[in-house]
Amino acid sequence: MKTILTKEDIVNIIELYNTTMPSTHKLAEKYKVGHKKIRQILIDNNVILNNKGGQIKIGDSSLIESSKVNLYKCDNEFDLVAKCKKTNIVIKDPNNLSGKLTKHIIENYGDVWIPENNYQRKKYEKLNNKKWFEEYFEIIKIEKSKVRKCGLCDWTTTDIENKSGCFEQHIIIHNIDLDEYLEKFPEDVKYHSKYLNKIELLKKKNHVSCIICGEKMKSINNQHLKSKHNISVEEYKLKFPNSKIISNSTSDKLSDNMKKINLVSTPTWTSKGETEIKEFVESLGFNVVKGKNRKLLDGKEIDLIIEDIKVCIEYNGLYYHTEVMGKNINYHLNKTIECHQNGYKLIHIFEDEWMTNKDLVKTKLKHILKVNDGIKIGGRNLVIKEISTEDKNFFLKKYHIQGPDKSKISYGAYYGDELVGVMTFNSSRNMTKNNNGEFELSRYSTKSDYIIRGLGSKFLKKFITEFKPKSIISFADRRWTLDPLNNFYTNLGFNLESVTKPTYYYYNSKVNRYKRFHKFGFGKNNLKKRFPNLDFNKTEKELTSELGYERIWDCGLFKYVLNILF
């Protein structure tokens, strides 16, 4: 059956030929007709045909490839948004970095030309002096929301009147409380209507006094004790066993109402990281429920819920998720298990991961939520070969959330001259105590710009052929593995062998605000080298607490094994 071209098809063919698809063969393939017919349509409409090869000469292709993309930038007074010419929908992504504009165009304009890669986008921009999506979207200015700035740093908030209490949460990083802040910046008292209520509270003696310094407050808390006296609440109780740490009226109120409040309340304060994650997931097309939902887990908070796919996300601020703040060995794991029992899957994102590896976390979220938008490459188009330790570590530092490793065997996947994937192996591992043909798959990572099908199995086949292992083990972080029986490892033939218990890291905000330290650096032998004057009759936990380090627990690991028969 012959394809009949409409008048609209002919107009589109002429426009495409003159802009982004100057090839009669490609147009013929797109419209399912012969290229001679396309050629005749162009001649009939007085279109000058290109030389053989169909390329518009706008400069060396390598110059186009290496050119920078012009990004729309907002100024101090206005933000830029994209407004759809057809639906009037406004999207806060004028550069289409999230791909949300592309998704909207596909849903509302049907089968239109969309550039497949960066080269086509740059070429279109060079030819037309505008971005490709401006055929469908208008880039407009909107007035910025009013913000309040912290007097001690560049942090800002749109919660001018501090209704959510976010300001008090922010100034914790400056080791200062609200009283001290307002003493330095008295002009800011206008933002804190609740501050006068606190003064009245003190007048009514509804308070307790810190025995060390005499300061009055509703309760003796870790924020005060750590910042002022460098001790914990537990240490304060031991030193002053007969002292009160909470006022009578506050204690009574908490006792009567805590369970009820936990079940029905929706706290309004949200951390910056949690808000950013919510906005990113929504930019991928999901509806995200925010607000410390306490109903799902019978009183325990859940930060974000993607109800349509039954996935929850917890953003774990490091300070508030230490052991000293009540987050014990099973806290994060129990939440994960309870979510699963209620039909939901839970992702835990720690503050340091988001603040220092935001792009990698976004890539992992895209993968988990199955909305990858990279360039697709088949594994058969790649060349696998061993690579140097230097190249391996450079790649892993940029594209793996755990960073470089100490593996001795490293394979790289090359797409032309470009390294696009890495898999590493170890011949032995202390925790396995096995030297009889068992290897560990230590790292697997691909370049975030690509979606590479079949690369994992190609890496594995290469390794098995060259090293002939009897078995291969690997470990998956339970925080990121939503289905232990259907994932990257099981698709490669691995079987789930066991589940490890949660392990801990150390955290000290005064040493590094955004870092969890591996526990291996805090064994007694290491501590003796670094701090020889400590009392080593004490336990590791007691010693690290004296040094200001608190423990943060993860959710444990899934251990997978692949047994190989030759």
What pLDDT, on the 0 to 100 scale, is given for residue 282? 94
- The CA distances from residue 249 to 74, 218, 225, 259, in Å, are 50, 9, 22, 17
DSSP bridge pairs for 557: 477
φ/ψ region of 523 (left if φ > 0, alpha if ψ in -120 to 50, else beta) reads beta
How sure is the predictor about 367, in pLDDT bands with cuts at 50, 70 and 90?
Answer: very high
pLDDT at 257: 43
**Among the listed residues 196, 188, 315, 198, the one whose alpha carbon sits nearest the alpha carbon of residue 250:** 198
Cβ contacts of residue 21 below 8 Å, gap of 6+?
Answer: 27, 30, 113
Please, which residues bridge with residue 203 across strands? none
Model pLDDT, residue 515: 92
**pLDDT tens digit string along 99-130?**
899 999 988 887 777 887 888 888 888 878 88
Let me know if 212 is exposed, middle or buried by CB neighbors in 10 A (0-12, 13-18, 19+).
Answer: middle
Alpha carbon 553 to its chain's center:
19
Read off the amino acid at residue 458.
K
Name the residue among 406, 380, 373 with its Cα closest to residue 392: 406
Strand order in the sheet with 137-143: 90-91, 78-84, 137-143
Residue with tokens 């001290």: 180
pLDDT above 90 for 566: no
d(CA 329, CA 541): 13
Could you please report the per-residue DSSP string of 51-83?
PTT----SS-HHHHHHSPPP-----SSEEEEEE
- Confidence band of 77 (pLDDT split at 50, 70, 90): confident
Q: What angle do CA 155, 397, 444 make, to 5 degrees?
A: 125
Starting at the edge strand found earlier in the chain, the sheet holding 517-518 runs 517-518, 504-507, 550-553
**How far is 159 from 168, CA to CA, in rounded Å?**
12
Q: What is the pLDDT of residues 249-301, one digit of tens each?
A: 555 554 444 433 343 444 445 688 999 999 999 999 999 987 555 667 766 78
Identify which of 239, 193, 200, 195 has the alpha carbon closest to the alpha carbon of residue 220: 239
Instruction: Look at residues 191, 244, 186 and name the one whose alpha carbon lies nearest to residue 217.
Output: 244
Q: Closest by alpha carbon to 259, among 302, 300, 219?
A: 300
Is a pLDDT exceeding 70 seen at residue 518?
Answer: yes
**Burial (CB count within 10 angstroms: exposed 0-12, middle 13-18, buried 19+), residue 286:** middle
% of the chain residues with pLDDT over 90: 42
pLDDT of the residue at 184: 83
How much is the average pLDDT of 498-517?
Answer: 92
Distance of CA 9 to the CA centre of its chain: 43
Q: What is the β-pairing status of strands 450-453 and 418-426?
A: unpaired
- pLDDT tens profile 138-154: 999 887 777 888 989 88
Give the range among 3-7, 59-63, 119-123, 539-543 with minimum mean pLDDT: 59-63
Instruction: Please give the pLDDT value at position 297.
Output: 72
Task: Give residue 76's Cα distance to chain centre.
Answer: 27
Distance of CA 356 to CAs 153, 310, 477, 488, Å?
A: 19, 28, 19, 25
Average pLDDT of every residue of the chain: 84
pLDDT top residue among 249 and 478: 478
CA dihedral 173, 175, 180, 185 (to 10 degrees): -40
d(CA 264, CA 210) in angstroms, rounded, equals 33
The predicted-structure confidence for 385-431, as pLDDT tens digits, reads as follows 999 999 999 999 999 999 999 999 999 999 999 999 999 999 865 44
The answer to whether residues 316 and 348 touch, using CB atoms and an 8 Å cutoff, is yes
pLDDT digits (tens, 9 = 90+) for 38-54: 888 888 888 888 765 44
pLDDT at site 258? 40
- Position 69, amino acid: V
- Report the pLDDT value the prediction gives residue 206, as an integer from 0 to 100: 63
Domains in the chain (CATH in brackets) are: 1-57 (1.10.10), 264-368 (3.40.960.10), 375-503+556-563 (3.40.630.30)
Q: Is residue 207 within 8 Å of 198, Cβ to Cβ?
A: no
Identify the CA nearest to 324 among candidates 220, 234, 403, 412: 234
pLDDT of residue 268: 46
Q: What is the pLDDT of residues 191-238, one digit of tens each?
A: 887 776 665 554 555 678 888 888 887 788 888 888 888 888 767 765
Instruction: In whole angstroms, give the CA distance from residue 352 to residue 316.
Output: 9
- Alpha-carbon gap, residue 312 to 479, rounded angstroms: 11
How does residue 84 score in pLDDT terms, banded at 50, 70 and 90? very high
Q: What is the pLDDT of residues 521-532, one digit of tens each?
A: 899 999 998 888
Predicted confidence (pLDDT) per residue in 457-471, tens digit: 999 999 999 999 999
Q: What is the CA radius of gyration of the chain?
A: 29
3-class secondary-structure state, position 47: coil
Q: Which of 9-18, 259-268, 467-476 has the highest mean pLDDT?
A: 467-476
Q: What percent of the chain has pLDDT over 70?
A: 85
Between 6-15, 231-240, 268-277, 307-316, the lowest mean confidence (pLDDT) is in 231-240
Report the predicted TM-score, pTM, of the whole model to 2 decimal places.
0.55
> What digits encode the pLDDT tens for the residues 165-199?
888 888 888 888 888 888 788 788 878 877 766 65
564 C-beta neighbours (distance < 10 Å), count:
14
Per-residue model confidence (pLDDT) at position 404: 94
d(CA 219, CA 108): 56
Highest mean pLDDT of the ranges 314-318, 429-433, 530-534 = 314-318
Instruction: Give the pLDDT confidence score for residue 516 in this predicted structure.
Output: 94
| Residue 86: DSSP 8-state | T
pLDDT at 197: 62
Q: Please, which residues have CB within 8 angstroms of residue 74's CB and are 6 or more apart in sequence?
A: 80, 141, 144
What single-letter DSSP state applies at residue 229?
Answer: I
pLDDT at 313 over 90: yes
- In order, the DSSP letters of 252-300 are HHHHHHHHHHHHH-------HHHHHHHHHHHHTT---EEEEEEEEETTE
